[in-house]
Structure 1
Protein backbone atom coordinates (compact mmCIF):
# COMPACT_ATOMS: atom_id res chain seq x y z
CA UNK A 1 0.00 0.00 0.00
CA UNK A 2 1.34 3.43 -0.91
CA UNK A 3 1.79 6.12 1.70
CA UNK A 4 -0.17 9.31 1.13
CA UNK A 5 1.82 12.50 1.58
CA UNK A 6 0.09 15.82 2.12
CA UNK A 7 1.66 18.61 0.08
CA UNK A 8 1.78 22.16 1.34
CA UNK A 9 0.03 24.40 -1.20
CA UNK A 10 2.15 27.40 -0.22
CA UNK A 11 5.44 25.72 -1.07
CA UNK A 12 4.70 23.09 -3.73
CA UNK A 13 8.23 22.97 -5.13
CA UNK A 14 10.22 22.61 -1.89
CA UNK A 15 9.92 18.83 -1.62
CA UNK A 16 10.59 18.41 -5.33
CA UNK A 17 13.65 20.65 -5.09
CA UNK A 18 15.14 18.64 -2.23
CA UNK A 19 14.25 15.32 -3.88
CA UNK A 20 16.02 16.52 -7.05
CA UNK A 21 18.97 17.78 -5.02
CA UNK A 22 19.43 14.39 -3.38
CA UNK A 23 18.79 12.27 -6.47
CA UNK A 24 20.68 14.34 -9.08
CA UNK A 25 24.39 14.17 -9.72
CA UNK A 26 25.71 17.25 -7.92
CA UNK A 27 28.34 17.83 -10.58
CA UNK A 28 26.01 17.53 -13.56
CA UNK A 29 25.08 21.11 -14.37
CA UNK A 30 24.29 20.43 -18.03
CA UNK A 31 20.54 20.62 -17.41
CA UNK A 32 20.22 24.23 -16.29
CA UNK A 33 16.73 24.54 -17.77
CA UNK A 34 14.99 22.01 -15.52
CA UNK A 35 11.36 22.81 -14.87
CA UNK A 36 10.03 22.62 -11.34
CA UNK A 37 6.40 22.13 -10.42
CA UNK A 38 4.75 25.54 -10.18
CA UNK A 39 7.33 27.11 -12.47
CA UNK A 40 6.41 29.33 -15.41
CA UNK A 41 8.86 27.54 -17.69
CA UNK A 42 7.17 25.26 -20.19
CA UNK A 43 8.37 21.66 -20.44
CA UNK A 44 10.57 20.74 -23.39
CA UNK A 45 11.40 17.55 -25.29
CA UNK A 46 14.73 17.48 -27.15
CA UNK A 47 15.45 14.89 -29.82
CA UNK A 48 18.34 14.35 -32.22
CA UNK A 49 17.87 12.37 -35.43
CA UNK A 50 20.36 11.59 -38.18
CA UNK A 51 19.63 14.81 -40.06
CA UNK A 52 18.18 17.31 -37.56
CA UNK A 53 17.63 18.43 -33.99
CA UNK A 54 14.02 18.64 -32.80
CA UNK A 55 12.63 20.76 -29.98
CA UNK A 56 9.06 20.41 -28.71
CA UNK A 57 7.89 23.02 -26.20
CA UNK A 58 4.55 22.54 -24.41
CA UNK A 59 2.67 25.85 -24.32
CA UNK A 60 -1.10 25.31 -24.53
CA UNK A 61 -3.47 28.22 -24.90
CA UNK A 62 -1.09 30.40 -26.88
CA UNK A 63 -0.94 31.56 -30.49
CA UNK A 64 2.00 31.31 -32.85
CA UNK A 65 2.29 35.12 -32.72
CA UNK A 66 3.06 34.89 -28.98
CA UNK A 67 6.44 33.21 -29.59
CA UNK A 68 9.84 34.54 -30.58
CA UNK A 69 12.38 31.95 -31.79
CA UNK A 70 15.97 33.07 -32.42
CA UNK A 71 19.36 31.49 -33.02
CA UNK A 72 22.46 33.52 -32.22
CA UNK A 73 26.00 32.18 -31.74
CA UNK A 74 24.74 28.58 -31.55
CA UNK A 75 22.22 29.49 -28.86
CA UNK A 76 18.54 28.70 -29.46
CA UNK A 77 16.29 31.14 -27.60
CA UNK A 78 12.56 30.54 -27.35
CA UNK A 79 10.65 33.27 -25.57
CA UNK A 80 7.12 34.52 -25.14
CA UNK A 81 5.44 37.52 -23.64
CA UNK A 82 1.68 37.68 -23.36
CA UNK A 83 -0.38 40.47 -21.79
CA UNK A 84 -4.13 40.38 -21.30
CA UNK A 85 -6.52 42.94 -19.90
CA UNK A 86 -10.22 42.37 -19.29
CA UNK A 87 -12.73 44.90 -18.06
CA UNK A 88 -16.37 44.46 -17.12
CA UNK A 89 -18.62 47.37 -16.19
CA UNK A 90 -22.22 47.47 -14.97
CA UNK A 91 -23.38 51.05 -14.51
CA UNK A 92 -26.69 50.22 -12.89
CA UNK A 93 -24.90 48.28 -10.12
CA UNK A 94 -22.00 50.77 -9.94
CA UNK A 95 -19.72 47.81 -10.60
CA UNK A 96 -16.35 47.68 -12.37
CA UNK A 97 -14.06 44.70 -12.58
CA UNK A 98 -10.69 45.00 -14.26
CA UNK A 99 -8.23 42.11 -14.49
CA UNK A 100 -4.68 42.04 -15.79
CA UNK A 101 -2.65 38.99 -16.71
CA UNK A 102 0.99 38.85 -17.75
CA UNK A 103 2.97 35.75 -18.69
CA UNK A 104 6.51 35.48 -19.99
CA UNK A 105 9.27 32.91 -20.27
CA UNK A 106 12.57 32.41 -22.01
CA UNK A 107 14.24 29.05 -22.63
CA UNK A 108 17.79 28.96 -23.98
CA UNK A 109 19.66 25.94 -25.33
CA UNK A 110 23.26 25.61 -26.46
CA UNK A 111 23.36 24.03 -29.91
CA UNK A 112 26.19 21.90 -31.31
CA UNK A 113 28.57 23.40 -33.88
CA UNK A 114 27.25 21.17 -36.66
CA UNK A 115 23.79 22.75 -36.98
CA UNK A 116 22.77 24.68 -40.09
CA UNK A 117 21.34 28.01 -38.89
CA UNK A 118 19.95 28.72 -42.35
CA UNK A 119 17.64 25.68 -42.20
CA UNK A 120 15.38 26.19 -39.19
CA UNK A 121 11.62 25.64 -39.22
CA UNK A 122 9.12 26.35 -36.45
CA UNK A 123 5.41 25.55 -36.20
CA UNK A 124 2.77 25.66 -33.48
CA UNK A 125 0.02 23.03 -33.38
CA UNK A 126 -2.20 21.58 -30.64
CA UNK A 127 -0.42 23.50 -27.86
CA UNK A 128 3.08 22.38 -28.89
CA UNK A 129 5.74 24.58 -30.48
CA UNK A 130 7.89 22.47 -32.82
CA UNK A 131 11.35 23.69 -33.87
CA UNK A 132 13.40 21.63 -36.36
CA UNK A 133 17.05 22.55 -36.93
CA UNK A 134 18.88 20.85 -39.80
CA UNK A 135 22.40 19.50 -39.38
CA UNK A 136 25.27 20.36 -41.68
CA UNK A 137 26.65 17.46 -43.70
CA UNK A 138 29.56 17.03 -41.25
CA UNK A 139 27.10 16.56 -38.37
CA UNK A 140 24.97 13.92 -40.03
CA UNK A 141 25.47 10.36 -38.95
CA UNK A 142 26.67 8.16 -41.78
CA UNK A 143 25.69 4.53 -42.19
CA UNK A 144 28.14 1.95 -40.92
CA UNK A 145 30.34 0.40 -43.54
CA UNK A 146 31.55 -3.15 -43.11
CA UNK A 147 35.13 -3.69 -44.20
CA UNK A 148 35.98 -7.04 -45.73
CA UNK A 149 39.04 -8.68 -44.22
CA UNK A 150 41.49 -10.10 -46.76
Structure 2
Protein backbone atom coordinates (compact mmCIF):
# COMPACT_ATOMS: atom_id res chain seq x y z
CA UNK A 1 0.00 0.00 0.00
CA UNK A 2 1.30 3.45 -0.93
CA UNK A 3 1.91 5.96 1.80
CA UNK A 4 0.81 9.53 1.19
CA UNK A 5 3.25 12.35 1.56
CA UNK A 6 1.85 15.67 2.69
CA UNK A 7 2.90 18.80 0.84
CA UNK A 8 3.34 22.04 2.77
CA UNK A 9 0.86 24.85 2.14
CA UNK A 10 3.75 27.24 1.31
CA UNK A 11 4.83 24.95 -1.52
CA UNK A 12 1.28 24.74 -2.84
CA UNK A 13 0.94 28.55 -2.83
CA UNK A 14 4.29 28.84 -4.64
CA UNK A 15 3.18 26.36 -7.28
CA UNK A 16 -0.08 28.26 -7.70
CA UNK A 17 1.73 31.60 -8.15
CA UNK A 18 4.23 30.13 -10.61
CA UNK A 19 1.40 28.49 -12.55
CA UNK A 20 -0.48 31.79 -12.65
CA UNK A 21 2.49 33.81 -13.86
CA UNK A 22 3.33 31.15 -16.44
CA UNK A 23 -0.08 31.34 -18.07
CA UNK A 24 -2.30 29.42 -15.69
CA UNK A 25 -5.14 31.04 -13.81
CA UNK A 26 -5.87 30.84 -10.10
CA UNK A 27 -9.44 29.72 -9.61
CA UNK A 28 -11.21 32.20 -7.39
CA UNK A 29 -13.90 31.40 -4.84
CA UNK A 30 -17.00 33.58 -5.24
CA UNK A 31 -19.99 33.17 -2.95
CA UNK A 32 -23.27 35.03 -3.36
CA UNK A 33 -25.64 35.18 -0.40
CA UNK A 34 -29.12 36.66 -0.18
CA UNK A 35 -30.40 38.18 3.06
CA UNK A 36 -33.64 39.93 3.94
CA UNK A 37 -32.19 43.42 3.59
CA UNK A 38 -29.11 42.94 1.38
CA UNK A 39 -27.04 40.71 -0.87
CA UNK A 40 -23.48 39.76 -0.10
CA UNK A 41 -20.60 38.87 -2.40
CA UNK A 42 -17.67 37.05 -0.80
CA UNK A 43 -14.49 36.73 -2.87
CA UNK A 44 -11.22 34.93 -2.25
CA UNK A 45 -8.44 34.59 -4.83
CA UNK A 46 -5.55 32.22 -4.02
CA UNK A 47 -2.20 34.00 -3.98
CA UNK A 48 -3.83 37.46 -3.94
CA UNK A 49 -4.13 39.59 -0.80
CA UNK A 50 -7.82 40.57 -0.37
CA UNK A 51 -6.70 44.18 0.09
CA UNK A 52 -5.36 44.13 -3.49
CA UNK A 53 -8.81 43.40 -4.95
CA UNK A 54 -10.48 46.52 -6.30
CA UNK A 55 -14.21 47.22 -6.12
CA UNK A 56 -15.49 49.62 -8.77
CA UNK A 57 -18.88 50.90 -9.91
CA UNK A 58 -18.94 52.28 -13.42
CA UNK A 59 -22.18 53.16 -15.22
CA UNK A 60 -24.27 50.92 -12.94
CA UNK A 61 -21.90 47.94 -13.33
CA UNK A 62 -20.18 46.45 -10.28
CA UNK A 63 -16.69 45.11 -10.99
CA UNK A 64 -14.31 43.18 -8.76
CA UNK A 65 -10.79 42.92 -10.14
CA UNK A 66 -7.16 42.60 -9.21
CA UNK A 67 -3.88 43.14 -11.02
CA UNK A 68 -0.71 41.13 -11.09
CA UNK A 69 2.66 42.06 -12.52
CA UNK A 70 4.43 40.21 -15.29
CA UNK A 71 7.74 41.04 -16.90
CA UNK A 72 7.84 41.73 -20.61
CA UNK A 73 11.01 42.93 -22.35
CA UNK A 74 12.62 43.86 -19.01
CA UNK A 75 9.59 45.99 -18.11
CA UNK A 76 7.07 45.12 -15.41
CA UNK A 77 3.49 45.43 -16.61
CA UNK A 78 0.35 45.29 -14.45
CA UNK A 79 -2.24 42.97 -15.95
CA UNK A 80 -5.85 43.26 -14.73
CA UNK A 81 -7.98 40.19 -14.06
CA UNK A 82 -11.72 40.86 -13.78
CA UNK A 83 -13.39 38.36 -11.46
CA UNK A 84 -16.93 39.80 -11.29
CA UNK A 85 -18.55 42.26 -13.69
CA UNK A 86 -22.34 42.52 -13.57
CA UNK A 87 -25.00 45.23 -13.68
CA UNK A 88 -26.29 46.35 -10.29
CA UNK A 89 -29.96 45.33 -9.94
CA UNK A 90 -32.51 48.16 -9.74
CA UNK A 91 -33.45 47.18 -6.18
CA UNK A 92 -29.91 47.73 -4.79
CA UNK A 93 -29.01 51.13 -3.33
CA UNK A 94 -25.77 51.94 -5.18
CA UNK A 95 -24.85 54.77 -2.82
CA UNK A 96 -24.79 52.42 0.19
CA UNK A 97 -22.65 49.60 -1.28
CA UNK A 98 -19.75 48.84 1.08
CA UNK A 99 -16.78 46.49 1.16
CA UNK A 100 -14.74 45.08 4.03
CA UNK A 101 -12.44 42.17 4.84
CA UNK A 102 -13.28 39.04 6.82
CA UNK A 103 -10.48 36.53 7.24
CA UNK A 104 -9.13 35.94 3.69
CA UNK A 105 -12.27 37.19 1.94
CA UNK A 106 -13.28 40.50 0.44
CA UNK A 107 -16.94 41.00 1.40
CA UNK A 108 -19.11 43.38 -0.64
CA UNK A 109 -22.53 44.30 0.80
CA UNK A 110 -25.29 45.37 -1.57
CA UNK A 111 -28.10 46.89 0.55
CA UNK A 112 -31.60 46.88 -0.87
CA UNK A 113 -33.60 50.04 -1.51
CA UNK A 114 -37.36 50.58 -1.31
CA UNK A 115 -37.88 48.85 -4.69
CA UNK A 116 -37.08 45.48 -3.09
CA UNK A 117 -40.63 44.92 -1.98
CA UNK A 118 -41.90 45.97 -5.38
CA UNK A 119 -44.47 48.55 -6.28
CA UNK A 120 -48.17 47.79 -6.19
CA UNK A 121 -51.32 49.83 -6.62
CA UNK A 122 -54.76 49.23 -8.05
CA UNK A 123 -55.69 51.38 -11.00
CA UNK A 124 -59.33 51.86 -11.84
CA UNK A 125 -60.19 52.44 -15.46
CA UNK A 126 -61.92 55.74 -16.24
CA UNK A 127 -65.42 55.81 -17.69
TM over 0.5: yes
RMSD: 2.9
Contact 1:60 1:126 in 2 (8 A): no
Which structure has greater helix proportion? 2
Contact 1:51 1:140 in 2 (8 A): no
d(CA) in 2 for partners of 1:83, 1:52? 35
Q: Which residue of the other structure, out of 92, 111, 118, is the alignment partner of 1:115?
A: 92
Q: Which residue of the other structure, out of 81, 99, 104, is the alignment partner of 2:67?
A: 81
Structure 1 residues 26-41: aligned runs within 5 Å: 39-41=25-27
> How many residues get paired?
90
Gaps of 5+ in 2: 1-23, 119-127
TM-score, structure 2 as length reference: 0.57
- Which structure has the greater CA radius of gyration? 1
Gaps of 5+ in 1: 1-37, 86-99, 142-150
Which residue of structure 1 lines up, in the alignment, with residue 52 of structure 2? 66
Q: Does 1:106 align with 2:65?
A: no
After superposition, the Cα gap between the structure-2 partners of 1:112 and 1:131, relative to the gap in structure 1 and judged at 3 Å, is same
Which residue of structure 2 lines up, in the alignment, with residue 47 of structure 1? 33
TM-score, structure 1 as length reference: 0.49
3-state SS of paired residue (1:123): strand
Contact 1:61 1:127 in 2 (8 A): no
d(CA) in 2 for partners of 1:40, 1:102? 16
d(CA) in 2 for partners of 1:105, 1:83? 11
3-state SS of paired residue (2:69): strand
